[in-house]
A and B are shown apart, each in its own frame.
Chain A
Amino acid sequence: MRKLESWAFFVLFVCSSAIENGTSHENGSTYQILSFDFPAIETPFLVASWLILASAAKMAFHSKYFPDSSLLVVVGFILGWVFYNGFTWIKVQYYELESSYFFHFLLPPIIFDAGYFMPNRALFENFGSVLLFAVVGTVWNTMAIGSALYFLSLYEWFSVSFEIFEVLTFASLISAVDPVAVIAVFEEVHVNEFLFINVFGEALFNDAVSVVLYKMFRNFYDIGSESVQIVDYGKGMVSFFAISLGGTAVGIIFAFAVSLITKFSQNMRVLSPIFVFVLPYMAYLLADSMGMSSILAISICGIVMKQYVKGNLTPTGVNSVKYFTKMLAVGAETVLFMFLGVSAITSPHHFDWTFITCTIVFCLVFRTIGVIVQCTILNKFRKKKFSVIDQFILSYGGLRGAIAFGLSASLPDSMSTKPMFVTTTIAVIYFTVLLQGVTIRPIVNWLKVETKEDRQKTMTESIYTKYFDYTMSGIEDIAGIRGEHYIRDTYERLNAKILKPILMQNEAKKDFDASVIVRAYAKITLEEALHLKEQKKRKLDERLTIDRSAISDSSMDIHIPQERIRLISSSKTRLQKLEDISKQKQINETEELQDDYMAQINVANMRSQQNAPNSSQLQPSSSSANI
C-alpha cells in the first residue's frame, strides 16, 4: 500500500507541475517537464479522434431494424448538436466537413472498394440497362427537377428566386443516385443480384453525367444566362464524352500499370500491395485535375486490375489487399455518415420548407416516371425483364448521399441561394437515408421481392455456367449473330491470349480460361465431401456396410475391419471430428470477406439462415445418434 501511495503522489506531482508549467508557458521562466502543445498535433489528432469516434459509434449502434448508415447519421446529428450547443470550446472547424477533405480523402477509398468488389459478370450482363439508367436517367431527372422547380419559382412559391442555371446546377447534384448510400443500405437488405447490380451500377456510373451537368450549368451560371450560346451547349455535350471516356482511359491505364508493377515486384512482396492502393488513388487525383470523372477513373481501375493483381500477388497478399480495401472503405463511409449528421448543425442554413418538400416530391416522382419509361423500353430488348416490383425497388432505391452534399458545399459562395441549396440537399439526404433507407427492408420483405437464393452454388452449376457459355457462343456463331456471347467470348479469348500473359506472371498463353471451374471445385470440396459422408454415415447405420468409394481427399482411410462395430464407432467419431472442423470452417468461411458484392450478399444470406433454428446443414441427424 505504501509503495502505491508514494507512486501515486509522485505521478500527481509530476502532472501538476507539468500543468502548471503548461499554463505558465508564456513566462518561459521555468523548465518544463511536460508540456501540452495541442496545435502541433491538431490535425492528426482530430483525424484520429474522428476515426475512433465514428468506428466506436458504428460498433455501438448496430440494429437489426435500421441500416448502419441511418444510425450513424442520427448519431452524428446528436453529436453535432451537443458540440455546437454544449461544448462550445470545441471549435466548429473541428467538426465541419470541408468539401475538399471529402473529395480527396473520404470518397476515393469508398469508390475504389466499389470497383474492386464489383461483380464483373453481373455488370456485363446488365451493362445496357445500367448505362441507360446512368446516362439517360440522370439527364432526365436533372432537367425535370430543375425545370419544375424553376417553373414554380416563377410563381413565387419559394422564399428566394433564382435563375434557371442556378437551379439546374442544384438539380444536377441532387438527382444523382449515390453509390455509398446504395451500398450501405442494399448490403443489408439482401435483394437479388439483378436488382442490386442495376441500382448500384447506375449509382456508380452516373457520376460522369452528374459531374458534366454540374460543371456545365455552373459554367453557364458564371458566364451569365444572357451570354450563353448554342455552341456552349454543344461543348457541354462533347465534354460529357471527354469526361467519361477520359476518366475510363485513365482508369484502364493505371490498372495496367498496377498489374505490370505487381508482376515485376516479386522480390518485394511485402511492398507491392502499396501500389495496389496508391496507383488507383493517383488515377483519381490525376483524372480530377484534368477535369475528368475521377470516380469513373478509380472504379474502373479497380474493376480492371482485380484479376491481374490476384494472379500476381501471393494469396496472403491478395487477402490483405481485400481486407485493407474494405477497412479503408468502411472507415471512410462511417466517418462520412457521421459528418453528414454533424453538418446538419454546422452548415449555414436557410430553411425553405416549400422548396424542400417540392424537391423531395419531384425527386421521387420524376425518378419513378423515368424508371418506368426506361424499363418499358428496356423490356422490349431484354431476356430478363423488369417486373413491376423490380421497377418499384429501382425507383425507391434511388438514395441520395454524401456526394450530393459535397457538391452542394462546393457551390460558389457568390451564389446567393447557396445556403438554401445546402439546406435542401441535407434535407433530401436525410429523407432518403433515414426514411427510405429504414423502410426499404420491410417493404422488400412485404413485397416478397425475390431474395438471393441462400444455397451455395453447386459444382454442377459452376461447370454448367461455363458449359452454357460455350454452347451459346457456338449457337450464336452458327446462326451468324454477334450477340452478347460473342462479345464476351471475344473478350475472354483476348484476355487469355494477350492480356494475361503480359500482365500476369506465370501465365502461359492459353486459348481459354477454365480456372473458374477449378477454383469452384477447390472451394466447395470439403463441406460437400462432408455432406456426402453424412449421407454415407446414415447408410452406414442402415445397412451396416461401408462404401469404399467415398470422396477421397479426407482422412477417411477405412480399412476393412474384422469387427464392424468397432469400425463403425471409430468412423463415427472421426466423422464427428470432421464435422466439427467443417462447422468451424463454415463459420470461418462465412465470416471471411468474400470476393465481390454478390458473394458478400450470398454469404450474409447464408449466415442469417444458419442462425435460424432449423439449419439442416450443421446439425447431424438425430436418428443416427446411437448404435
Chain B
Amino acid sequence: MGDIRQSLLPRDVLSAAKELLYHLDIYICNMVQSGRQPPQVDSKTLDLIEEFILHTPKDRNTPRMSALQELQLLEIMCSCFQEQSRDTVRQLMFSALFNLQGNQADESRMALLSKLVSMAVAVGRVPILECAATWLQRTHRLYCVRLAQVLVDDYCSMVPGSGPTLHNIHSASPRFCCQFIAAVTTLYDLTSEELTPPMELLQMIVSWIQDDPRLVLITFLNSPLSGSQPISSLDVTPLGGLIRWCIKAPLAYRRNKKQANDGSSDGELDAARLFSALHLSVLQVFMLLPNILNEKGLFGRLALLQMESVAALTSDLSRLLDQADKHTHAATSDTHAAPQLALDRLAQALQVAMASGALLCSRGTSDLLQLVLSGPVIPHAAHSPIPAHPTLPPHTPHTPLAAHPAPHAQYPAQPFMTGMPFPFRPGH
C-alpha cells in the first residue's frame, strides 16, 4: 500500500485522494477476505490518508483543497460508502479514515468528518450515519460533542428550514440518532446561554422520544454487554443528560430570561411545555427499563445512570437554587414555582430511576435530598424558596440514598469534583 505514494505524488489533489480511496477500498477488502485478526490498517496507510486526503502539512507543502474539490471528495466518499455492500469493510474504512490518531491531522479529520456526516444527513446516506454512530460510541466525548455541535449549527441555526432534514435521521439511522442525542445532551448542559439547546433541536428531540421512547435505548440494546466501553466516551444512553435538562431547565431558562429581558414569554412557555413532555418521556423510558434489564439479566447489576453524574447534577442544582435565592429578594409566588418544579422533577426522576433499576444505590445513612436542601442554600432560611419541609409535596421520597461514601463526604464542601469536567465549550 505504501508503494503507491510515488504514483500519487504527481496527481492533482482531488484525483490523488480519489485514487487513494480506491486503493484503500481494495486493500481493506483484501484484508477482510484474508481474515487477518484483528483487522488493522497499518500505519503507512494511515500516513497516506493523512497526506492525500486530510492534507496534513508534512515535509512537502501540500496544496490545500479548495472548497469545491472538498465537496467533490465528500461526494465521492458518500458514493464510496454507499456502494460498499459489506458492513465490515465499510466500517473498517470509516475507522481508517476518521478514527482519531492523536496527531495534528485530527483537526482536519474532524473537519472532514463533520462535513461528511452533515452531508450524509442531508442526502440520507444511511451507511455513513451507521458508521458515524459507531464512531460516536468509540470516540472521546470531547470530539463527539464537536461533531454534534457542527450538526446542530448546520441544521438548527445556519440554514433555515433544514431542520426537517435532521429530523429524518431517527428513521434513517436510529443508532446515530441515539448517539446524537447523547452527544447533544452532553454538550448543552444549560450552564450558560450558549449551552442552552436551540429550540428547534429541543423540539426535534422531544418529538423523537415521544414517537419512540425506545430510541434512547437503542445503543444500549444493540451494543454487546462487554465492558469494552472506551474511557470517557459518551454514556450508553442519553438518559443522564436528558434528566439534567429536565431538572435544570426551569431554573436555567428563568435565568436566561432575566439576563435577556426581552425574551419572549412564548418561547419560554414553549420550552417549559417541551421540557415537561420530555420529562414525562424520560420517566416513561425509565418505566421500560425493568423489563429490558430483566431480559438481559442485568437488573440491579448495571447502572445506566451513573452515580457521579447524579451527584454532579445535585450540586449544580443547589448552586442554581442558591443563585435563584439571591436574585429574588422580592419573593413572589412565581419565583417559588421554578425551584419547586426543579426539585419536583429531581425527586421524581430519582425515585423512578431507582425504582426502575437505572440508578443503583442502597439506602444509606445520608439523605441526598436532605443534603441538597441543607447545603449552601439553607443558611438564610428566611429567604429560602423552600422554607420548610411541610411545603414539599407529600410524595417526596424521604428514602435515604446510599451513594458512594466518598462523594458524600465531600459533598457539603462545595468544590465538588463532578467527574464531568467540560473543558469543551462550543463557541470558542
Instruction: Tell me if chain B binds chain A.
Output: no
Q: Which residues of B contact A (CB under 8 A)?
A: none
